[in-house]
């Protein structure tokens, strides 16, 4: 499982529910964090290069890009390069369109994700008769990273994310919000307080887990050593993440 940071743990939690015996390497490109401020070319080259080297070393049976930004930009390139199943992460616009009662959906993502043509195509296919309002909320990535490290987070960050959608024309009618970054479900409770009780949230983690389970159906799993959290840069803050990683079954930390 690959992400720019710890956001993909929201996906891993769902995978554990369906495949508790599956050995996992969770790879976090903390040296490249955040992805949302990078160009498409930078993200595509970085993700494809890292996953190429990681799969060569670890020989996984499947790769999950547990990152919306990386998936919307680099998924096709990675599938062209690697000869194993690749599961991506895309904004959950389809289920949001089915859930909304007012017909107005909010989408929170990184700046790189919300401007992608991929999102335009999802909107055209699944929400053409709805109103989709998008907002970049880069502060939420840092908020999720800080929360998992047990550090304090300014509540105003969540208020600003809500306001970025609410203050757009028609934003007062939003009743469903797509969390289009895997970091964001980690702070869903805080976002719920900022948006109020009339807003529901949707993200794709359960669907991704089901897809991984389907692609590995009938396969046997054997865990020969503890599951690994792999980082691309050594930093003092990695020790702060150890308790959160252990809660997700990642008992060892290594720098790639």
Cβ-count burial 28-58 (b if 16+ within 10 Å, e if not): bbbebbbbbebeeeebbebbbebbeebbeee
Among the options 127, 181, 186, 191, which is catalytic? 181
User: Cis omega (within 30 of 0) on the bond before 34?
Assistant: yes
- d(CA 33, CA 232) in angstroms, rounded, equals 10
- Tokens at 145, concatenated: 């990273």
User: Cis omega (within 30 of 0) on the bond before 4?
Assistant: no
Region of 196 please: left (phi>0), alpha (psi -120 to 50) or beta: left
67 flagged as catalytic? yes
- Tokens at 115, concatenated: 């401007």
DSSP state of 173: G
Among the options 12, 67, 165, 241, which is catalytic? 67
- Tokens at 99, concatenated: 């859930």
64 flagged as catalytic? no
> Which of the residues are catalytic?
67, 181
């Amino acid at each position: 499982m690959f992400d720019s940071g710890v956001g993909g743990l929201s996906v891993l939690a769902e995978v554990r529910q369906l495949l508790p015996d599956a050995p996992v390497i969770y790879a976090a490109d903390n040296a490249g964090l955040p992805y949302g401020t990078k160009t498409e070319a930078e993200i595509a080259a970085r993700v494809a290069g890292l996953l190429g080297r990681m799969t060569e070393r670890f020989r996984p049976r499947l790769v999950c890009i547990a990152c919306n930004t990386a998936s919307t930009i680099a998924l096709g390139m990675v599938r062209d390069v690697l000869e194993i199943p690749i599961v991506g992460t895309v904004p959950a616009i389809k289920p949001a369109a089915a859930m909304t009662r007012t017909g107005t959906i909010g989408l929170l993502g990184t700046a790189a994700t919300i401007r992608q043509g991929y999102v335009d195509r999802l909107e055209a296919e699944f929400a053409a008769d709805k109103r989709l309002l998008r907002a970049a909320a880069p502060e939420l990535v840092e908020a999720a990273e800080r929360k998992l490290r047990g550090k304090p987070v300014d509540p105003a960050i969540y208020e600003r994310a809500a306001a970025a959608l609410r203050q757009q024309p028609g934003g007062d009618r939003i009743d469903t919000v797509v969390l289009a970054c895997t970091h964001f479900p980690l702070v869903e409770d805080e976002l719920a307080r900022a948006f109020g009780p009339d807003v529901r949230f949707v993200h794709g983690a359960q669907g991704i887990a089901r897809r991984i389970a389907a692609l590995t159906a009938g396969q046997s799993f054997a865990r020969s050593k503890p599951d690994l959290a792999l980082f691309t840069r050594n930093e003092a803050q990695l020790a702060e993440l150890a308790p959160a990683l252990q809660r997700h079954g990642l008992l060892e930390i290594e720098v790639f």
